[in-house]
């Protein structure tokens, strides 16, 4: 049991270390071109769908919350996040706002028109999933490295205020966006794993 725990810690540490390594490689003129090409290639679809698994790790409490479901990213209608487990809910993020539908059908809407803060939030989420380099560049310091399976992009918010909430974001991609890790100001990561991509 102790060995297993140690292994888990080592694996966890390994993931953290390997993800953190991207931050040793700030984007320069040369790597920016490469990054641009990678993003264009990975997001060259009108719509992509698949499965996701989300792992929220609360370091301080040594607790994980896992949820899963399907996603659909459409350049036309935005991002639709359908959680199936542990309960059903759906979230849509697009230019007009953020819409949350819970299992009992109630919809919570935050219009970007009414709330510019959420408009920014919506823009950032869309920029991450649509690979909008100029939008990302305006809000984050960019880092990029090649990996054996593809590439990894690191994003560090430019604003100190935002860094208190989101310390960094790491995106891992091969032919598709495979994984996104968002680490909060306390160092707790939220990992999104994407599988079964279907492009249109």
Partner 1 sequence: MKHLSLNSLNVKIGVLLWFVVHAVLIALGVSVPWKMNSDLYSILPDSSETKNVSAAEKKLSARTMRNISVLVGHENFEVARAAAVALDSLLKENASLEETRLFVDENSLNETRSFFYKNRYLIQGKPVREAVATGNLESLKNKALQKIYGSFSMSDLNRLDEDPFLLGESSFDYFANHSPLMSGSFEILDGVLAATDSGMTYVMWSAVLSENVSAMASDGHVLERLNGVLDSLKQANAGLTFAKSGAMFHSYESSGMAKSEIAWISGVSITLILLLLLFVYRSPLPIVATVSTIALSAFTALSFTWFVFEDIHVFTFVFGTTVIGVSIDYAVHFFTSLKSGKCNVRSIIFKGLLLGFLTTELSYLALTFAGFPLLRQMAVFSMVGLLSSFLSITLLFHAVFDKRDSSETIANVPTNLPLAIPERFLKWYSVLPQKGVRWALIVFALALIPGLGMLCVHTDLESLYSMSPESKAAESLAARLNNLGVSSNYFIVEGSSEEEVLEREELLSERLGLAESDSLLQSHLALSNFIPSAKTQLATSASIKRLLLDSANLPVPAVQSYLAEIGVQKDSQFVAGFSPSQITPASLSEKLPPTLRLILQMLWIGPVETSTGTQFYSAVLPLHVSAQFDAQKIAGDMPHVYAVNKIKNVNASLTKISRMSLALVGIAYLVVFLVLVAVYKLSVALKIIRTPVLSSLFVAAFFGYAGIDFNFFAIVGVILTLGIGIDYALFFWEGGRNNLVTVLAVMLSAMTTLISFGSLVCSAFVPVSTFGFAVLLGIACCFLLSPLSGKR
Neighbours of 26 (CB within 10 A): 13
CB 197 within 8 A of CB 48: yes
Under the binding rule (CB under 8 A), the answer on residue 32 touching partner 1 is no
The nearer residue to partner 1, 163 or 197, going by C-beta atoms, is: 163
Q: Cα dist. 52→70, 80, 197 in Å? A: 6, 11, 10
- Kindly report the three-state secondary structure assignment for every residue of 103-134: CCCCEEEEECCCCHHHHHHHHHHHHHHHCCHH
Q: Is 47 a residue that touches partner 1 (CB under 8 A)? A: no
137 torsion bin: left (phi>0), alpha (psi -120 to 50), beta (else): alpha
Select from 22, 39, 48, 83 the one that contacts partner 1 (CB under 8 A).
83
By the rule CB under 8 A, 87 interacts with partner 1: yes
Q: Which is nearest to 169 in space by CA: 139, 134, 199?
A: 139
CB of 49 to partner 1, least distance (A): 15
CA angle 60, 93, 147 (to 5 degrees): 60
x/- letters, 107..146, toward partner 1 (CB under 8 A): ---x---xxxx--xx---x---------------------
* Residues in Cβ contact with 14 at an 8 Å cutoff, skipping those fewer than 6 apart: none
Closest separation in Å from C-beta 160 to partner 1 = 4
Among positions 49-68, residues that touch partner 1 (CB under 8 A) are 54, 56, 58, 60-61, 63, 65, 67
Question: Is the Cβ of residue 81 or residue 143 nearer to partner 1 in the bound state?
Answer: 81
**Identity of the residue, 31 or 48, whose beta carbon is nearer to partner 1 in the bound complex:** 48
Stretch that binds partner 1, among 16-24, 30-38, 82-90, 168-176 (CB under 8 A): 82-90
CA distance 189 to 14: 14
Q: Which is nearer to partner 1, 100 or 145 (CB)?
A: 100
Structure tokens at 55: 């792992």
Q: Which residues of this chain interact with partner 1, rule CB under 8 A?
A: 54, 56, 58, 60-61, 63, 65, 67, 81, 83, 86-87, 89, 91, 93, 100, 102-104, 110, 114-117, 120-121, 125, 158-166, 184-186, 188, 192
């Amino acid at each position: 049991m102790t060995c297993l725990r140690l292994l888990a810690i080592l694996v966890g540490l390994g993931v953290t270390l390997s993800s953190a390594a991207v931050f040793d490689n700030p984007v320069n003129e040369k790597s920016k071109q490469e990054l641009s090409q990678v993003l264009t290639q990975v997001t060259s679809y009108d719509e992509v769908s698949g499965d996701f698994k989300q792992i929220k790790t609360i370091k301080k409490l040594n607790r994980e919350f896992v949820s899963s479901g399907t996603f659909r990213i459409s350049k036309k209608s935005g991002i639709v996040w359908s959680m199936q487990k542990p309960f059903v809910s759906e979230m849509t993020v697009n230019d007009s706002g953020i819409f949350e539908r819970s299992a009992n059908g109630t919809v919570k809407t935050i219009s970007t028109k009414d709330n510019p803060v959420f408009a920014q939030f919506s823009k950032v989420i869309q920029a991450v999933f649509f690979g909008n380099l100029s939008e990302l560049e305006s809000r984050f310091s960019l880092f990029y490295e090649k990996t054996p399976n593809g590439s990894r992009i690191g994003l560090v918010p430019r604003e100190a205020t935002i860094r208190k909430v989101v310390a960094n974001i790491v995106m891992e991609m091969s032919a598709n966006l495979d994984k996104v890790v968002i680490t909060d100001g306390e160092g707790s990561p939220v990992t999104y794993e994407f599988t079964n991509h279907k492009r249109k």
